[in-house]
C-alpha cells in the first residue's frame, strides 16, 4: 500500500449511556443530528475535506448500524483507490485472543498492525461524538512547524467552567508544560478537545510500552499524555475557535440542534466549501401543505408538514399532520405527529409516532423530554 502522510483513527466505541434510549440500538456516533446528519459525519467529513484519506473507526458496541453506515466510505468520497473508511472491532490474532478495547489508547494499540500497513508519518486521533468543523491539515502544518511530538487541539472555555475540563497549561509559544484533569484551581482556560496529532513513530513506541504496563488505564488523557510530558517530549496546544459541541446528553443534543435556527450560527452547514457529507437519499422535496404554519424551522427533504411548526428541527421523512403542533422540539427521521397532537420541548426519536391529540413535553420543563417510544393517541 502507498505511504500515507497522516492517518486518522476515530474513537467511536462509546455506549453513550447518557443518551439513554437513543443508543439502545445504535452506537452514539450514529445518532442523528441536524435534520439529516449523523454525529460521525462531522469527523468523517472533516477528514475528507482535510485530505485525510484513510480513516479507521474503532468500535465495539452494537456496531451493525454504525458499521454498515461508515463502511460505505463513498458517502464522504473516501472510496477512491488510496482512500477508505475501515471499521475496526476487537479481533483474535495469531498471538492473542478476542478482547475488548480497555481504553482509548488500547483501542489504537490493538490496531497497530492496521496503522503500520499504511506506514503513516502522523496519526490523528479523533472522537466520534463532537459536532464541529475543523481543518486537520492546518493542524498538521502547525504540528510540523512546531516540530512537536504531539499536538493537542484546545479551545478556550469560560474560566469559571474550566475546572470541568482537562486543562492544558502552556508556555508563551504554545508548548504544553502541564496537563491537569479537572483542576480545582485552573491555571488556564484551554480545554483539551480530545483531538490529537502524534508523530506515529513516537506514539507507537509509547503504546507498546503502555500495553505492558499493568497499572495503566490505557487512556490518552490519563496515561499517554502524562508519560510524554514526563519524558520531556514536545507537546503543543493548537487553539481552535469555532463552533464546537459535545452532544453527550439529551439536553446538549437538543441544544446543538436548536443552534441551527440561529442565523448567525457559526457551524454554517450551508457553506459549500466545507460540506458535511452524509447519507443523502433521492427522496422528494419537503412538502408543505395548505394547512401548514411554519414559524422558525430547520426542515429536511422528505418531510411533510400539514400542521404548525415553531422553532423546531424536522428530520428526513417526518410527518406532521394538519392540526398537529411541534414547538421547540427536534423530530428525528421518520417521526410522525398525528392530528391534534402537540409536541413541546421534546426530542422525538427515529420512527416514533405521537398519536392523535396526544400531548408530550412541557413548555416550562427544565429538561428536554426524550420520546423514544410511540405515544398512544386519544380520540
Known binding residues for alpha-D-glucose 1-phosphate are: 101, 166, 181-182, 192
Nearer to another protein, 217 or 255 (CB): 255
Which listed option, another protein, a copy of itself, none, makes contact with residue 159 (CB within 5 to 8 Å by class)? none
Residue 353, phi then psi, degrees to nearest 5? -110, 125
213-242: which residues touch another protein (CB under 8 A)? none
Q: Which stretch binds another protein (CB under 8 A): 159-167, 259-267, 324-332, 368-376?
A: 259-267
Task: Kindly state the smallest distance separating residue 329's Cβ from another protein, in Å.
Answer: 15
The Cα–Cα gap between 191 and 17 comes to 23
DSSP helix/strand/coil, 175: strand
Burial (0-12, 13-18, 19+ Cβ within 10 Å), 57: buried
Please, which residues bridge with residue 337 across strands?
A: 320, 354
The Cα–Cα gap between 126 and 245 comes to 14
C-alpha cell recorded at residue 138: 492546518
Nearer to a copy of itself, 91 or 201 (CB): 91
Residue 68 within binding range of another protein, rule CB under 8 A: no
Cβ neighbours of residue 364 closer than 8 Å, sequence gap 6 or more? none
Q: Cβ(157)–Cβ(165) under 8 Å?
A: yes
C-alpha cell recorded at residue 119: 506506514
Identify the residue among 17, 215, 230, 290 touching another protein (CB under 8 A). Answer: 290
Residue 378 within binding range of another protein, rule CB under 8 A: no
Task: Kindly state the smallest distance separating residue 62's Cβ from another protein, in Å.
Answer: 26
Exposure string of 1-31, with b = 16+ CB inside 10 Å and e = fewer, is eeebebbbbbbbbbebebbeebbeebbbbbb
Nearer to another protein, 237 or 267 (CB): 267
Q: Which residues contact a copy of itself (rule: CB under 8 A)? A: 24-25, 59-65, 67-68, 71-74, 79, 84-94, 97-100, 111, 113-114, 117
Nearer to a copy of itself, 104 or 170 (CB): 104
Per the annotation, where are the binding residues?
101, 166, 181-182, 192
Residue 276 within binding range of another protein, rule CB under 8 A: yes
Nearer to another protein, 93 or 138 (CB): 138
Identify the residue among 301, 359, 372, 377 touching another protein (CB under 8 A). Answer: 301
Task: Kindly state the smallest distance separating residue 97's Cβ from a copy of itself, in Å.
Answer: 8
Size of the site for another protein (CB under 8 A): 54
Which listed option, another protein, a copy of itself, none, makes contact with residue 35 (CB within 5 to 8 Å by class)? another protein
Please, which residues bridge with residue 239 across strands?
A: 154
Task: Kindly state the smallest distance separating residue 27's Cβ from another protein, in Å.
Answer: 23
Q: Cβ(30)–Cβ(66) under 8 Å?
A: yes
C-alpha cell recorded at residue 228: 510524554
Three-state secondary structure string covering 304-353: EECCEEECEEECCCCEECCCCEEECCEECCCCEECCCCEEECEEECCCCE
75-114: which residues touch another protein (CB under 8 A)? 75-83
Task: Kindly state the smallest distance separating residue 262's Cβ from another protein, in Å.
Answer: 10
Residue 327 within binding range of another protein, rule CB under 8 A: no
CA 249 to chain CA centroid, nearest Å: 12
The Cα–Cα gap between 348 and 217 comes to 37
Binding site for another protein (CB under 8 A): 2, 34-36, 48-49, 51, 53, 74-83, 137, 260-261, 263, 269-270, 273, 275-278, 280-292, 294-301, 304, 309, 313-314
Amino acid at each position: 500500500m502507498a505511504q500515507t502522510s497522516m492517518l486518522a483513527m476515530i474513537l467511536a466505541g462509546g455506549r453513550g449511556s447518557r443518551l439513554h434510549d437513543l443508543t439502545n440500538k445504535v452506537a452514539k456516533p450514529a445518532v442523528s443530528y441536524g435534520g439529516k446528519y449523523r454525529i460521525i459525519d462531522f469527523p468523517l467529513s472533516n477528514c475528507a475535506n482535510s485530505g485525510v484519506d484513510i480513516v479507521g473507526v474503532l468500535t465495539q458496541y452494537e456496531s451493525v448500524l454504525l458499521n454498515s453506515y461508515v463502511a460505505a466510505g463513498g458517502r464522504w468520497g473516501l472510496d477512491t483507490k488510496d482512500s477508505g473508511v475501515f471499521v475496526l472491532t476487537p479481533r483474535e490474532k495469531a498471538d492473542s485472543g478476542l478482547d475488548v478495547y480497555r481504553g482509548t489508547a488500547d483501542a489504537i494499540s490493538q490496531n497497530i498492525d492496521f496503522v503500520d500497513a499504511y506506514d503513516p508519518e502522523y496519526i490523528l486521533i479523533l472522537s466520534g461524538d463532537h459536532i464541529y468543523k475543523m481543518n486537520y491539515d492546518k493542524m498538521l502544518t502547525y504540528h510540523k512547524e512546531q516540530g512537536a511530538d504531539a499536538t493537542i487541539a484546545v479551545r478556550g472555555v469560560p474560566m469559571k467552567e474550566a475546572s470541568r475540563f482537562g486543562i492544558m497549561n502552556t508556555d508563551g509559544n504554545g508548548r504544553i508544560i502541564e496537563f491537569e484533569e479537572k483542576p480545582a484551581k485552573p491555571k488556564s482556560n484551554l480545554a483539551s478537545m480530545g483531538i490529537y496529532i502524534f508523530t506515529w513513530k513516537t506514539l507507537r513506541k509509547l503504546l507498546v510500552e503502555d500495553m505492558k504496563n499493568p497499572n495503566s488505564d490505557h487512556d490518552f488523557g490519563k496515561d499517554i499524555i502524562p508519560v510524554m510530558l514526563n519524558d520531556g517530549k514536545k507537546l503543543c496546544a493548537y487553539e481552535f475557535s469555532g463552533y464546537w459541541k459535545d452532544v453527550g446528553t439529551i439536553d446538549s443534543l437538543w441544544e446543538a440542534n436548536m443552534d441551527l435556527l440561529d442565523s448567525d450560527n457559526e457551524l454554517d452547514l450551508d457553506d459549500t466549501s466545507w460540506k458535511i457529507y452524509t447519507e443523502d437519499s433521492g427522496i422528494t422535496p419537503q412538502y408543505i401543505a395548505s394547512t401548514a404554519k411554519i414559524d422558525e424551522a430547520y426542515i429536511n427533504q422528505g418531510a411533510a408538514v400539514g400542521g404548525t411548526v415553531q422553532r423546531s428541527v424536522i428530520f428526513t421523512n417526518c410527518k406532521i399532520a394538519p392540526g398537529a403542533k411541534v414547538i421547540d422540539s427536534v423530530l428525528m427521521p421518520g417521526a410522525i405527529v398525528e392530528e391534534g397532537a402537540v409536541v413541546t420541548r421534546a426530542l422525538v426519536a427515529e420512527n416514533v409516532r405521537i398519536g392523535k391529540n396526544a400531548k408530550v413535553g412541557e413548555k416550562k420543563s427544565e429538561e428536554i423530554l426524550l420520546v423514544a417510544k410511540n405515544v398512544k393517541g386519544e380520540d
